[in-house]
Amino acid sequence: MPGNAGGHPTTPGAPTGAPDSTAAGARPEQGAERERQVRRIFSEIAPRYDLLNHVLSLNIDRSWRRKAVRALGVGRRPGGRYLDACAGTFDLAIEVAKTEGFRGRVIASDFAFPMLSEGRAKLAGRPILPTCADTLRLPFADGVFDGAMVGFGVRNLSDLDRGFRELRRVLRPGARLVILEFTVPPNRFVRFGYMLYFTRILPLVGRIVSGHPWAYSYLPASVREHPGPEDLAARLEAAGFASADWSLVTAGIAAIHVAAVA
């Protein structure tokens, strides 16, 4: 895999059972500690990530991904170069490559090497280039991408504004950034069911299937701390995007943000 700007993460496979593998480890940390925490979580759950992703989202994530990729507007430059940042096991990148008439390339970057490694078998000759890189320090020149996406990744960034500025930097004028992310539903009845699922069922199923003691408790905690869509849109504009809009999907469980470069 080209590039290794993110360095090599911890060994994949079974959870380590290190001293902080307790409920305390489920709390999102800040700064550099958060980067280590996030990289460690995804490195450790990588072998089970795809299975759990589709089971825990009841497969709804597939339609969200398709919708997010449509918002990217690949048809405007079908031969272009696209970035899937925080790409994990490549589900978004693959969706772009499957777009009818697509003739371009997708650079799929993530700083957890085991996630890229797990996803490789799915690439099967598609024009996707896995790259081990940190979204806060992208190893690319200014303005080289015709579009960028982040699926369920921005919530994990230790410095969201820096991440937005970095994504803005690598986009050419006229390009779009699409962000697909969980959000807290506005309707209080939906919110009640969602929080119940997120704080009780999801951590339990996640723990049993992944064997990881706390990674799936980190998820609801990180969603709760993540800024809402209005705040996110304002921060995208503050990072240099000319406009930032969003739409909620599935009763506001997730949001798709589209930010444009002038």
Ligand X SMILES: C[S@@+](CC[C@H](N)C(=O)[O-])C[C@H]1O[C@@H](n2cnc3c(N)ncnc32)[C@H](O)[C@@H]1O
Binding residues (CB under 6 A) for ligand X: these are 38, 42, 53, 86-88, 91-92, 110-112, 115, 134-136, 151-153, 156-157
Nearest-approach distance from CB 114 to ligand X, in angstroms: 9
Closest to 183 measured CA to CA, from 246, 97, 244: 246
Q: Which is nearer to ligand X, 57 or 174 (CB)?
A: 57
CA–CA dist 233, 244 (Å, integer): 5
As measured in angstroms, the least distance from the Cβ of 164 to ligand X is: 12
Q: Which residue is nearest to ligand X (CB)?
A: 88
Task: Please state the closest distance from residue 126 (CB atom) to ligand X, in A.
Answer: 16
Q: Closer CB to ligand X, residue 60 or residue 174?
A: 60
Local structure of residue 19 (DSSP, 8 states): T
Question: Measured from the CB of residue 8, what is the shortest distance to ligand X in angstroms?
Answer: 13
Q: Which is nearer to ligand X, 83 or 233 (CB)?
A: 83
Nearer to ligand X, 162 or 172 (CB): 162
CA distance 194 to 206: 16
Contact 215, 205 (CB under 8 A): no
For the beta carbon of residue 65, count every other beta carbon within 10 angstroms.
20
- Alpha carbon separation from 261 to 50, 229, 241 (Å, rounded): 32, 19, 5
Please state, in angstroms and rounded to a whole number, the distance separating the CA atoms of residues 39 and 48: 15
Task: Tell me how far, at minimum, the Cβ of 21 lies from ligand X, in Å.
Answer: 18
Question: What is the smallest separation between the CB atom of 73 and ligand X, expressed in angstroms?
Answer: 19
User: Considering beta carbons, is residue 42 or 198 the nearer one to ligand X?
Assistant: 42
Nearer to ligand X, 224 or 242 (CB): 224
